[in-house]
Structures are given as structure tokens and as C-alpha cells.
């Protein structure tokens, strides 16, 4: 007698749907602090885990190999950044048109592609494996927009965004610390280390992505105060650029400088710490990045207290300029022997991120609300990021192929000071143009 399989698929699916909707319903009815903690924690862990597939390799030196006459580590950094940059250009359309129900699935798929490329990086011998670092960067560049899509358009976006933004300060140090530990303590080679690091982050990534996907959409009061957030097709994107393009351009150029600085600080932190006397310090990355994270979080998390969207948008400019001043000022003090190398790097990094973080969380969020644009932050972040990483690639190539003798300390000194001078002027120029648009709209 043959057994007829029980039709369990539909009941199981209904049970899963019930549980999912139950979590969302409870989040909708929960106190604001509970909602903030839940969404902030899950988004923080998701994006921190992404760094476990992007940054551990930068804790290695790859000194035994050279390619095209330059350091192999630099080749790997350039390869990954080019992939990441192309991802940002593609993401301008991809993130702008993303439908919310598809976000979680894409996060998982993109991370798995990046992890698979690290396996091939370990298997294929150098110098032929640099192509897999390029492939690694292609999917990872789109994760930020997918994650931030769960947070934008809410009255408490600033708090959650500030916590999420500290993930790429904290997680960069954590990823390099994990990579260094795997090589120094676990004896894993620098070629297999990136893949092994990814394995450690996989479980937390899957769980936190599922938790984040339970986030309910913005409620009517959120929409009233921050405008509705909708996918932006080509017509909407073009209309936005016609209205704001001239004011947006100098702001993006300032962001390009911050992105270049931030990428060099992350990718060559090992070389900078080695040059300043911390070659064998395994935990220096995590310790200093944690301090920077707390400083940035303390400054920017209070943005949600500013209810007026236009005032908050203008306040972003003050914070960004302050970040430039802090980075350049601490650099000058270090060269005057008034502060230590640790104090310099921590303070300059804090200034860098005080300028960088608003663009990724608050600047465009409050801009859309202040000018009542029914779009989404993802389009604007990816527009800025695409040119930011293009700038990183250009500076990397110039640095390697224009032969000038300098140390890493000298390189970062010049970058901090030049970026501050130019960045402050660009931010002020952009602020004036935005003010004219706002005034014209109120007439």
C-alpha cells in the first residue's frame, strides 16, 4: 500500500507567513526605543558581516609577489575597488528601482557570490588570482543601499542610520583584526585567510538579514514628516537632476575626497600602523576603530532631535566642515609633535568619518524631506558613491605609477590637508546653491 504524501507545503508556508507577519505587527506596535534597538542592531550586524568578506585581506601584506612592477597588495586593492566602483555605478539604477520585498534575498545572494570569489582567490595561484578580488568587489558595493532601504523615511532614521554608519568604522577594524588573528594565531596563510574569515561571518549574516527583513514599512506619521519613499525610474531620476544637479555637484566632489581618504585609511591602515611602530599589534585596528565609532555616534545620533528638515539639512554642512577641520587640525598637531601617532590617527579618522557619515545617512535623507521629493536615498547615495570610488581608483593609479618618494605618514598628511582645504570650499558652495533652490520653491 503506497502512502500519499501529506500536503504540508501550504500549511508550513502559512505558518512561516504568520510568524513573519507577527514579528512585523509587534514591531509596528512596539515602543519607539524597542523598534530602534531592533532595526539598528540587525542592520548593524548585517553590514558589519559584509565587511568580513571585503576587508580581511587588507590585514595581509602579500610581500612575496609583485605584478605590473608594483606591490601585489596594491594590485588587489585596486582590483577590488574597481569592482566596487562599477557596482556603485550599476547601483544608481539598481538600488533606485529596488522593490522592498526583494531586498533580503539580494543581500544573501550578493554576499555568497563575494564569498565564492574568495574561495577561488585561495585556489588559483598568484598572480592570476587578482581577478577574483575584482569579482569580490562587484556584488558587495550594492549591499549598503539594500540595508539602508529598511531605515530611510522614518522619524528615527538618524538614530538608526548613525548606528548603522558606525558599522563601517567598527567593522573595518574588526575584519582586519579577524584576518590578522587567523594568520598569527590560527596559522592560516594570507591566501586562504579571506575565505576563512568569510566563513566566520556567515552564520551571523544569515540570521541578522532575516531579522532585518521583518522590519515594517514607514507608518503614516513617518511619511507625513519625511515624505513617502518610492522607487525612482529614469524619468524621476532625470527630473531630480535637472532641479538639483548644480547644487549636488560640489557636494559630491567633497564626498569624493572623503571617500578617497576613507578607502586609503581602511586599505592601508596596516602599513600606516607599521610605519608608526605598531607592526605586531593584532588588536590595534579594532581598538582604534571602536573609539572612532563611539565619537562619531555621539556627535551625529542627535540629529533626530532637530524636527525641522531644512534646518537639519543645513546642519549637515556644519558637521561635514567640522570633520574636515578636525582631520586637518590633528594632522598639523602631530607634525608639531603635540600629539602621539595613536591620537593623530584616531582623531583624524574621527574627523574623516564625521564628514563621511552624514552623506551616507542624513544628508540626502533630510534633503528629500526638506524639498518634499518622493524619491529614495539609495539613488543619491549611489550617485555620490560611484564618483567617490572612481576618485579612489584614480588616486591609487597615480600613486603607483607616478614615482615620487614618500612615506605613508607623508602621504596621509598631504591627503588630509589638501582634502580639508578643497572640501570646505565645495561644501559651502553647495550650501549656497541649495539655499537658492529652497528660497525659490517658497516664493
Out of 10-19, 273-282, 421-430, the most confident range is 421-430
Grid cell 507608518 in the structure block, residue: 219
71 forms bridges with which residues in the sheet?
Answer: 66
Q: Where are the beta strands (DSSP E) in 235-327?
A: none
What whole-number percentage of the chain has pLDDT above 70? 89
Out of 47-56, 172-181, 226-235, 335-344, the most confident range is 47-56
430 forms bridges with which residues in the sheet?
Answer: none
Angstrom distances, CA of residue 394 to CA of 47, 182, 387, 388: 26, 32, 10, 10
Q: Collapse the DSSP code of 376 into the 3-class scheme (helix H, G, I; strand E, B; otherwise coil) and give the result.
A: coil
Residue in 103, 202, 222, 203 with CA at minimum distance from that of residue 160: 222
How sure is the predictor about 280, in pLDDT bands with cuts at 50, 70 and 90?
A: low
Question: Both ends of the chain: CA-CA distance in Å?
Answer: 83
User: What pLDDT, on the 0 to 100 scale, is given for residue 168?
Assistant: 75
Residue in 143, 148, 162 with CA at minimum distance from that of residue 51: 143
Q: How far apart are CA 251 and CA 429, in angstroms?
A: 8
Q: How far apart are CA 21 and CA 273, in angstroms?
A: 48
Is the confidence at residue 69, as pLDDT, over 80? Answer: no
Is the confidence at residue 65, as pLDDT, over 90? Answer: no
Q: How far apart are CA 306 and CA 300, in angstroms?
A: 11
Topology annotation, domain 29-213+232-442: Growth Hormone; Chain: A; (1.20.1250)
Q: How far apart are CA 211 and CA 215, in angstroms?
A: 8
Enumerate the domain spans of the chain.
29-213+232-442
Furthest-apart CA atoms within the chain: distance in Å: 90
Q: Mean pLDDT, to the nearest integer, of 26-40?
A: 90
Grid cell in block for residue 10:
501550504
Q: Collapse the DSSP code of 66 into the 3-class scheme (helix H, G, I; strand E, B; otherwise coil) and give the result.
A: strand
Is the confidence at residue 289, as pLDDT, over 50? Answer: yes
**Dihedrals phi, psi of 108, to nearest 5 degrees:** -65, -45
Q: How far apart are CA 87 and CA 90, in angstroms?
A: 5
Global pTM value? 0.78
CB distance 49 to 197 below 8 Å? no
Q: Enumerate long-range contacts of 399-403, CB under 8 Å, 24 or more apart.
A: 400/70, 400/74, 400/78, 401/70
Out of 173-177, 275-279, 361-365, 421-425, the most confident range is 421-425
Is the confidence at residue 14, as pLDDT, over 50? Answer: no
Out of 55-69, 194-208, 326-340, 401-415, the most confident range is 194-208
What whole-number percentage of the chain has pLDDT above 90? 46
Q: How far apart are CA 420 and CA 423, in angstroms?
A: 5
CB distance 268 to 415 below 8 Å? no
Instruction: Give per-residue pLDDT as tens, 124-153.
Output: 998 999 999 999 999 999 999 999 999 998
Grid cell in block for residue 80:
577590488
Task: Output the DSSP codes for 196-222.
Answer: HHHHHHHHHHHHHHHHHTTPPPPPHHH
Higher pLDDT, 247 or 67: 247
How sure is the predictor about 294, in pLDDT bands with cuts at 50, 70 and 90?
A: confident
Instruction: Give per-residue pLDDT as tens, 210-224.
Output: 999 999 999 899 888
All residues at 6 or more sequence positions from 350 whose CB lies less than 8 Å from its CB, including other chains: 291, 292, 295, 296, 323, 326
> DSSP assignment, residue 70?
E
Q: Mean pLDDT, to the nearest integer, of 225-251?
A: 91
Residue in 256, 248, 279, 299 with CA at minimum distance from that of residue 434: 248
Mean pLDDT across the chain: 86
Grid cell 562619531 in the structure block, residue: 296
**Dihedrals phi, psi of 385, to nearest 5 degrees:** -60, -40
CB distance 71 to 62 below 8 Å? yes
H helical segments located in 336-407: 341-361, 363-370, 377-401
How sure is the predictor about 62, in pLDDT bands with cuts at 50, 70 and 90?
A: confident
**Dihedrals phi, psi of 419, to nearest 5 degrees:** -65, -40
Amino acid at each position: 500500500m503506497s502512502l500519499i504524501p501529506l500536503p504540508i507545503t501550504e500549511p508550513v508556508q502559512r505558518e512561516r507567513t504568520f510568524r513573519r507577519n507577527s514579528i512585523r505587527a509587534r514591531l509596528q506596535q512596539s515602543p519607539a526605543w524597542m523598534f530602534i534597538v531592533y532595526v539598528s542592531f540587525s542592520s548593524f550586524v548585517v553590514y558589519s558581516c559584509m565587511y568580513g568578506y571585503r576587508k580581511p585581506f587588507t590585514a595581509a601584506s602579500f610581500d612575496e609577489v609583485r605584478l605590473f612592477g608594483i606591490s601585489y597588495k596594491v594590485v588587489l586593492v585596486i582590483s577590488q575597488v574597481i569592482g566596487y566602483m562599477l557596482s556603485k555605478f550599476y547601483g544608481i539604477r539598481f538600488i533606485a528601482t529596488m522593490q522592498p520585498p526583494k531586498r533580503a534575498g539580494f543581500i544573501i545572494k550578493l554576499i555568497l557570490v563575494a564569498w565564492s570569489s574568495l574561495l577561488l582567490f585561495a585556489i588559483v595561484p598568484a598572480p592570476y588570482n587578482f581577478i577574483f578580488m575584482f569579482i569580490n568587489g562587484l556584488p558587495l558595493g550594492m549591499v549598503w543601499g539594500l540595508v539602508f532601504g529598511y531605515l530611510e523615511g522614518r522619524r528615527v532614521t538618524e538614530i538608526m542610520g548613525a548606528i548603522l554608519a558606525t558599522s563601517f568604522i567598527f567593522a573595518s577594524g574588526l575584519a582586519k583584526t579577524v584576518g590578522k588573528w587567523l594568520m598569527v594565531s590560527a596559522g592560516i596563510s594570507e591566501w586562504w585567510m579571506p575565505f576563512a574569515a568569510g566563513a566566520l561571518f556567515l552564520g551571523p549574516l544569515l540570521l541578522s538579514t532575516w531579522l532585518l527583513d521583518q522590519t515594517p514599512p514607514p507608518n503614516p506619521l513617518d511619511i507625513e514628516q519625511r515624505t513617502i519613499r518610492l522607487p525612482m525610474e529614469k524619468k524621476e531620476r532625470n527630473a531630480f537632476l535637472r532641479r538639483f544637479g548644480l547644487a549636488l555637484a560640489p557636494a559630491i566632489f567633497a564626498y569624493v575626497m572623503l571617500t578617497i581618504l576613507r578607502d586609503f585609511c581602511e586599505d592601508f591602515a596596516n602599513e600606516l600602523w607599521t610605519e608608526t611602530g605598531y607592526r605586531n599589534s593584532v588588536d590595534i585596528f579594532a581598538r582604534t576603530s571602536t573609539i572612532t565609532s563611539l565619537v562619531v555616534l555621539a556627535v551625529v545620533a542627535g540629529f533626530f532631535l532637530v524636527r525641522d528638515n531644512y534646518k537639519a539639512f543645513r546642519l549637515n554642512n556644519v558637521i561635514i566642515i567640522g570633520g574636515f577641520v578636525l582631520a586637518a587640525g590633528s594632522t598639523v598637531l602631530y607634525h608639531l609633535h603635540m600629539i602621539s601617532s595613536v591620537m593623530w590617527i584616531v582623531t583624524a579618522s574621527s574627523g574623516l568619518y564625521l564628514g563621511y557619515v552624514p552623506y551616507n545617512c542624513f544628508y540626502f535623507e533630510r534633503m528629500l524631506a526638506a524639498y518634499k521629493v518622493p524619491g529614495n536615498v539609495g539613488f543619491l547615495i549611489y550617485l555620490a558613491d560611484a564618483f567617490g570610488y572612481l576618485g579612489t581608483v584614480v588616486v591609487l593609479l597615480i600613486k603607483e605609477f607616478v614615482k615620487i618618494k614618500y612615506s605613508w605618514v607623508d602621504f596621509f598628511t598631504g591627503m588630509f590637508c589638501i582634502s580639508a582645504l578643497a572640501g570646505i570650499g565645495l561644501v559651502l558652495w553647495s550650501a549656497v546653491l541649495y539655499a537658492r533652490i529652497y528660497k525659490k520653491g517658497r516664493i
